[in-house]
Chain A
Amino acid sequence: MENLVEIKKLSKNYFNKKALDNLDLTIEEGKVLGILGPNGSGKTTLIKILTGLLRQSKGEVLIDGHKVGVYTKSIVSYLPDRNFLYNWMTIEDAFKFYSDFYSDFDLKRGEELLDFMKLGKDMKITSLSKGMTEKLNLTLVLSRKAKLYILDEPIAGVDPVARDQILDAIIKNYDSNSSMIITTHLVRDMENLFDDVAFLKDGEVILKGNAEELREEKGKSIDEIYKEIFSE
């Protein structure tokens, strides 16, 4: 299987602080990669470089054979860890916006997901609660038939019911030809989604591999491995 994402010797420095240090990582087509690590381990920095919001200090990133730019932005569907839609929008406006800018946006899938999330198109972005915002953002991101989905902390800060709904939506709407990167520190809730995992600590990958093989090799769940690594 071919690699959709290739990251080679990637470093990012903020003045004297190293956020990413010589990181190597690849993501195969059709695979779900979990990037696991506590806050401040460099997960969001890595994702922001992949989405073109941040520049690397050193190293190379290729997505579908291209450097990060207009093309890669058109094939990456990105869920940031914040409320990124414009404040003046209603959900309807956000749908139109996505279908105008992304040719892979599937309106039918979007409407089904919106129903599933129990959201109405006439709702204003500014009137949504944190959980509703998260559900709407995920609806928009999953309604694209993108080659690569990047979800940054998709279930952080939402209640357990919304959490289950979001996980359900990811599982049901995930296209098996696409790849997905999910960052999280809530490993127990998400570990069943991952084909591969990479553990990130202080900007370095300290352990990576196939999730099933790691479970067998260590005789532990990914969540238990996570706790073992990061409690040290």
Chain B
Amino acid sequence: MGKYMKYEIKGTYKVILGILAIVLIATTVLYNYTAKNESSLIIALASLLIFGTFLSAFLYIVGSFRKELYEDRGYLTFTLPLTGNQILGAKLIVAFMWFLILGAITVSYNIFMMAKTSGETINFKELLSLINSSEIISFAIMILISGISTLILIYFSMALSRVTLRNRKIGGMWFIIFLILSAFIAWIQMKIVTISPYYINLKDWSIVNSNISALFQIEIDNASLMFSTEDYFYINIAGFITNIITGIILFLGTGHIIEKKIDL
């Protein structure tokens, strides 16, 4: 699997670095040429740039999996002496790595540019304590987990549409499968959250029941997977576990399809 990861990185790094170069140049231009008193505009545009970076990397990674299923390169990939899970696992780990690198670099570059253009020095201690806070870490982990589970769901939808519908003309079918599965999974999650309304507070690890907590009655409707206030960050325990289990099932399902079912 490690070997396959190496070739995944070799095959994708040029495009990822290209995306990174473009976004760094755009960020530099943004901070240098936007009027300094327009700070809210800068923040809005910078956030848009970061979002754009992730979206283009995401689309590229999704597109390269599609190429394995529909183009001649699949003849090499799927005749390697590897299991479906190894191929899929390597692809997901490399995608995860790229998102981490892109996220870390774009966010740090924004902080650097912000400090540089405003003339203030960066207080690393303050910054570090901000990053170290449990809410930020939990939030980042949640974002990454949901990003990866979305990616697994997309891979699963593509593999499923490849084995059920061989006609290339309706290749976009995977998206419809993806939408239906997403809705179904969200529905199951909502049911589970309603049945088990226990939330964990990531700040102090206390557990609350949303049905009897006054805070919840005001703040949210009862079936949310997570929510945050200024002081708290809550995640539904059963919902979160369901999320992880769904991810594992979809991973194994995709691995099984590409190893045992795919017809190229």
> Which residues in A have their C-beta under 8 angstroms from that of B261?
55
Partner of B72, one of A48, A74, A83: A83
Q: When chains A and B are docked, how far (Å) is the Cα of A217 from the Cα of B166?
A: 44
A101 touches B260 (CB 8 A): no
Q: When chains A and B are docked, how far (Å) is the Cα of A71 from the Cα of B81?
A: 7
Q: When chains A and B are docked, how far (Å) is the Cα of A84 from the Cα of B78?
A: 11
> Which residues in A have their C-beta under 8 angstroms from that of B259?
69
A68-104 vs B: 1/0 string, CB under 8 Å? 0111011010101011111110000100010011100
A40-76 vs B: 1/0 string, CB under 8 Å? 0000000010011111000000000000011101101
In the complex with contacts A84-B76, A85-B76, A55-B263 CB distance below 8 A? yes
B81 touches A54 (CB 8 A): no
> Which residues in A have their C-beta under 8 angstroms from that of B10?
88, 93
Is residue B14 contacting chain A, with contact meaning CB distance below 8 A?
A: yes
> Which residues in A have their C-beta under 8 angstroms from that of B78?
52-53
Partner of B80, one of A73, A87, A93: A73
> Which residues in B have their C-beta under 8 angstroms from that of A70?
81-83
Q: When chains A and B are docked, how far (Å) is the Cα of A78 from the Cα of B74?
A: 13
A54 touches B264 (CB 8 A): yes
B81 touches A102 (CB 8 A): yes
Is residue B7 contacting chain A, with contact meaning CB distance below 8 A?
A: yes
> Which residues in B have their C-beta under 8 angstroms from that of A85?
73, 76
Q: When chains A and B are docked, how far (Å) is the Cα of A70 from the Cα of B259?
A: 9
> Which residues in B have their C-beta under 8 angstroms from that of A52?
78-79
How far does the Cβ of B160 sit from chain A's closest Cβ, in whole Å?
A: 15
In the complex with contacts A84-B72, A86-B73, A48-B11 CB distance below 8 A? no
Name B22-80 residues within 8 Å CB distance of A.
72-76, 78-80
In the complex with contacts A55-B261, A100-B3, A82-B75 CB distance below 8 A? yes
Q: When chains A and B are docked, how far (Å) is the Cα of A222 from the Cα of B160?
A: 44
Interface centre among B14, B79, B261, B264 (most CB of A within 10 A): B79
B75 touches A84 (CB 8 A): yes
Interface centre among A73, A78, A84 (most CB of B within 10 A): A84
B73 touches A74 (CB 8 A): no
Q: When chains A and B are docked, how far (Å) is the Cα of A197 from the Cα of B3?
A: 39
Q: When chains A and B are docked, how far (Å) is the Cα of A117 from the Cα of B260?
A: 36
Closest to B12 in A: A88
Q: When chains A and B are docked, how far (Å) is the Cα of A69 from the Cα of B263?
A: 14
Q: When chains A and B are docked, how far (Å) is the Cα of A71 from the Cα of B259?
A: 13
B73 touches A73 (CB 8 A): no
A82 touches B72 (CB 8 A): yes
B73 touches A78 (CB 8 A): no
Name B69-126 residues within 8 Å CB distance of A.
72-76, 78-83
Closest to A103 in B: B81
> Which residues in B have their C-beta under 8 angstroms from that of A54?
263-264
In the complex with contacts A83-B72, A101-B3, A51-B14 CB distance below 8 A? no
A90-123 vs B: 1/0 string, CB under 8 Å? 0001000100111000000000000000000000
Q: What are 19 sample pairs from A and B whose C-beta atoms fall under 8 A apart?
A: A53-B74, A53-B79, A53-B263, A53-B264, A54-B263, A54-B264, A55-B263, A80-B72, A80-B75, A82-B75, A84-B75, A85-B76, A86-B73, A86-B76, A97-B7, A100-B7, A101-B3, A101-B80, A101-B82
Which 9 pairs across A and B sit closest by C-beta, in order of nearness?
A: A74-B81, A84-B75, A73-B81, A53-B264, A80-B75, A84-B76, A100-B3, A82-B72, A54-B263
Known pairs A55-B260, A73-B81, A83-B72; list 12 more (Cβ under 8 Å).
A53-B78, A54-B263, A73-B79, A74-B81, A80-B72, A82-B72, A85-B76, A86-B76, A88-B10, A88-B14, A97-B7, A100-B3
Contacts from A to B (Cβ < 8 Å): 14, 48, 51-55, 69-71, 73-74, 76, 78, 80, 82-88, 93, 97, 100-102
